[in-house]
């Protein structure tokens, strides 16, 4: 190369032109991404907004529902206590009426408890048939908690010992006599009493004998089984 030839411009790896080119491509890439996002938003944005609004409404609705449930529970508690106060004062009809109202429009748990109390106060008021009807309705209510339905069956069977149909009651008690049922021993005791009422003394004696020997049975149930066996002449 001749001395007087012009020198080529410097082309260092990090020169200004290279940096400008990199910046240009970054800007173009970013603009393309922005255009793409803009197009996506134009096409689908309303759905994202709708989803976001739906989520907010759902969360707000749930929070409102929870708040209303707490309020409803507190209100039901006050009404339940007021009805109990009436019962304590011997105003059984008024108490039964209050419990009946709570059983109709109270929150689920309180409603079932109120119906059980309604039956109890109705009996105290001298209306055993009315109490039997309340208990039967609760026992047959598929929307009620199974625990309350089973309690209703037990109370229904006890209340109807004098005149309820033995075959019907025995059939209703049968599921509760399963080994894993918490009402097993009470259901068996009632089944024995209904068997005796139906003239099936041998069945009654067999059930009572098993109850007396059952180490898992409450002491009171075992004691009554022994007494009943003595009455039946089998102990």
Q: Find the CATH number of the domain harbouring 204.
A: 1.25.40
> Is the confidence at residue 4, as pLDDT, over 70?
no
Evaluate the CA torsion angle 89, 95, 98, 99 in order and state its sign: positive
Q: Is residue 173 part of a domain?
A: yes
Q: Which helix H or strand E contains 31, and what residues bound it?
A: helix 16-88
pLDDT digits (tens, 9 = 90+) for 82-101: 988 999 999 999 999 998 99
Band (pLDDT 50/70/90 cuts) for residue 72 is: low
Q: Is residue 224 part of a domain?
A: yes
Q: Provide the whole-model pTM.
A: 0.67
Q: Is residue 197 part of a domain?
A: yes
Band (pLDDT 50/70/90 cuts) for residue 110 is: confident
Domains in the chain: how many in total? 1
Q: Provide mean pLDDT across the span 181-208.
A: 93
Q: Is residue 189 part of a domain?
A: yes
- Output phi, psi for 205, to 5 deg: -65, -40
Distance (Å, whole) CA 235 – CA 229: 5
Q: Is residue 66 part of a domain?
A: no
Please report how many Cα atoms fall inside a 13 Å half-sphere around the Cα of residue 219, on the Cβ side.
Answer: 0
Q: Is residue 59 part of a domain?
A: no
Distance (Å, whole) CA 5 – CA 227: 131
- Integer-rounded Cα Rg, in Å, for the chain is 38
Q: Is residue 147 part of a domain?
A: no
pLDDT at 73: 67
Burial of 133 (0-12, 13-18, 19+ CB in 10 A): middle
Q: 235 is in which domain, residue-wise?
A: 166-235
Band (pLDDT 50/70/90 cuts) for residue 234 is: low
């Amino acid at each position: 190369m001749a001395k007087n030839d012009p020198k080529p411009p410097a082309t260092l790896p990090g020169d200004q032109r290279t940096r400008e080119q990199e910046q240009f491509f970054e800007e173009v890439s970013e603009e393309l991404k922005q255009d793409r996002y803009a197009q996506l938003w134009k096409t689908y944005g309303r759905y994202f907004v709708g989803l976001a609004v739906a989520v907010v409404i759902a969360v707000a609705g749930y929070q409102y529902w929870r708040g209303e449930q707490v309020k409803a529970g507190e209100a039901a508690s006050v009404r339940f206590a007021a009805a109990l106060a009436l019962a304590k004062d011997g105003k059984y009809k008024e108490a039964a009426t209050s419990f009946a109202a709570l059983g109709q429009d109270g929150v689920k748990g309180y409603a079932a408890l109120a119906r059980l109390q309604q039956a109890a106060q109705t009996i105290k008021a001298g209306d055993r048939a009315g109490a039997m009807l309340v208990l039967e309705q609760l026992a047959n209510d598929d929307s009620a908690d199974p625990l309350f339905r089973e309690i209703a069956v037990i109370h229904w069977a006890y209340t109807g010992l004098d005149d309820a149909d033995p075959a019907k009651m025995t059939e209703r008690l049968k599921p509760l006599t399963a080994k894993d049922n918490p009402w097993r021993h009470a259901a068996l005791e009632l089944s024995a009493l209904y068997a005796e009422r139906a003239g099936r003394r041998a069945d009654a004696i067999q059930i009572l004998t098993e109850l007396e020997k059952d180490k898992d049975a409450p002491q009171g149930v075992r004691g009554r089984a022994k007494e009943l066996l003595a009455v039946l002449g089998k102990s």
